[in-house]
Chain A
């Protein structure tokens, strides 16, 4: 009796397992929306790659909780197919091709940063796969007449213009400006945009120089900046550069009226690593948890996005996490509008723009770069980041001077 029952149970369990596997297999083949995402999950860019992955996952979780993405009358669950390109751009391009040809993904998210996005976008253009770029802001990525690339960041000059305007009007004593830029696609392009925006407003650029990737010491450049007596110092670079420059500005008592370090203050690790020296440092950024957009996406609003992110990961989201989730909701809204996962229809829906997202209103210029929102300017005041601009979400006034 016992033996018979055990056998029966075993057969039933096996049948159930096969049924489950079978149905899962069918679902995978027929009704799962596949999105390809090559990311730098190891190597020097891994902190950024992991941030994007968290952003993507949060979107996919929320979309799947609601049953998936609505395609016409049915719902399709989302599956993101990840590959680690080890911070190696040529590998990102190979993996993008593999995602399209082997994994047969429906749509793609770009790899990290302007350089890798530009390189991999040739693959999606070749196969006609609509691709959303979460972290490309250099115009050089978008000016090749591609039809399949859409980026959530506004162009670099959208950071320098409002910043220059704000400082010019709120701190009229600022006349002399020094710019120190990392010699790398995005930071250098940004430094050059700042130079243009400042000169346009009659400010005097008394120092402009670029430092190479991997610089371990900025003392001599800072000695020259000190001698140039700037009222405003603008530094562009990545987090390790900015930590080192901030420390060495302190070492040489360089205390300008305004200190801008793009995008240092956005990151908690910058605040932790420079300590009290972080106070009053400003930056422009594309998104901030203080943003107050209401949206038609799965997150409903910026506030709710921040709440959900904190609940899942137990940390405050920054603009990289948010842009990762933003490409997700953008894709979802475009598919839902198109009522289909047909690539031509989704591409047309993306190009039509006017998406109300938690990241801000998203529409794209003819070249595919977002042109529909004003990136916020923030400042660290007493260990907290406050928003100075745009006026709709401002919650503090610019503080001049450094401690």
Chain B
């Protein structure tokens, strides 16, 4: 029973992790930008959901696409106005830029929303699914399902639409894509905005699970980073598998070594992967 419950805890947590990481992975994979803003964009989405719920009673699950769209616009503006200027620059430049933007956004959110921790409280709560002795919190289950749906949607867009194919083409070979008539700058902007969409939607879903504050954005960013390396950059299925793997490993790490070392197993695995399979579990450059 114990192991099964720990496995359930881990898979549910992993589903949340995947949802956090997928937009981050897309931007990193296609634009070669490590977007340190990602965690803060998620928190902004979570705030939008929190206030929509507080003011109009809109369920954060229904609000997720709206939060995504809002963040899509924010992402588009950021890319067109600022990030585009450093495209193709060495990684340190883009890292410094997104780091600076992240500090500004975090502090702007502290000024606007205060640093108090908030959470969406669903009334009535979604409750639990009880399978004998096993307990499955339904809010986590639904968030995981919706996150999977979002990720599947992103995968479908990349795979089956012309914009999606253009994104993949730019990722594989920017110059060749440009020669084929793909407007590379437009694709960059759309990709960055799509990453922001995923962050906003994820934030909205997470607002029923995690306390929201600008101070927590870096914790989410850290997880996204690990998952990308585990799963492979830019690979949507890789992010799903990386996220769930991390969740399960952390859960069993807690059981075997105590909560203080829960991340130890995950990071040992990460180091091993970096040595033996640096492209991650599913990372194959240019394939989607």
Give A contacts to B, CB under 8 Å. 42, 44, 46-47, 180, 183, 209-212, 214-221, 223-224, 227, 239-240, 243-244, 247, 250-253, 269, 272-276
Contact = CB atoms under 8 A, between A and B. Distances in A.
Interface of B: 2, 5-6, 9-10, 12-13, 107, 110, 114-119, 121, 123, 125, 128, 135, 137, 140, 209-211, 213, 215-216, 219-220, 222-223, 247, 250-252, 254-255, 258-260, 262-263
A386 B252 CA distance: 40
Contacts, number: 100
Nearest to A42: B107
Given A240-B213, A272-B118, A220 B135 contact: no
Contact of B254 (A221, A227, A273, A275): A221
A380 B274 CA distance: 49
Q: Which of the listed residues B12, B107, B115, B255 has the most CB atoms from chain A within 10 Å of its own CB?
A: B115
B119 A243 contact: yes
B46 to A, nearest CB: 13
B119 A274 contact: yes
A207 to B, nearest CB: 11
A240 B250 CA distance: 19
Given A253-B128, A273-B117, A219 B107 contact: no
A275 B125 CA distance: 11
Given A220-B252, A223-B5, 14 more contacts: A47-B114, A183-B260, A217-B9, A217-B247, A220-B254, A221-B254, A223-B2, A224-B255, A239-B211, A240-B215, A243-B211, A252-B135, A269-B118, A274-B121
A244 B210 contact: yes
Nearest to A87: B215
B216 A251 contact: no
Contacts of A221: 254, 259
A46 B211 contact: no
A250 B128 CA distance: 9
22 contacts: A46-B110, A47-B114, A47-B115, A210-B259, A212-B259, A216-B220, A217-B251, A219-B251, A220-B9, A220-B250, A220-B254, A220-B255, A223-B2, A239-B117, A239-B211, A244-B210, A244-B211, A251-B137, A253-B128, A274-B119, A275-B123, A276-B121
Contacts of A227: 2
B9 A219 contact: yes
A221 B2 CA distance: 11
A219 B9 CA distance: 6
B117 A210 contact: no
Nearest to A210: B260
A46 B262 CA distance: 28
B258 A210 contact: yes
Contact of A253 (B114, B135, B215): B135
A215 B210 contact: no
Q: 6 tightest A-B contacts by CB?
A: A220-B254, A219-B9, A251-B137, A275-B121, A211-B259, A273-B119
Given A46-B110, A210-B259, A212-B259, A220 B251 contact: yes
Contacts of A42: 107, 110
Contact of A217 (B114, B115, B222, B250): B250
Contacts of B250: 217, 220
A218 to B, nearest CB: 7
Nearest to A216: B219
A305 to B, nearest CB: 23
A180 B254 CA distance: 13
A220 B128 contact: no
Contact of A212 (B110, B140, B263): B263
Contacts of B260: 183, 209-212
Given A223-B5, A274-B119, A218 B259 contact: yes
Nearest to A272: B118
A243 B116 CA distance: 12
A221 B10 CA distance: 12
Contacts of A218: 259
A59 B161 CA distance: 64
A251 B6 CA distance: 13
A71 B121 CA distance: 53
A176 B173 CA distance: 63
Contacts of A209: 258-260
B210 A216 contact: yes
Contacts of B247: 217
A119 to B, nearest CB: 21
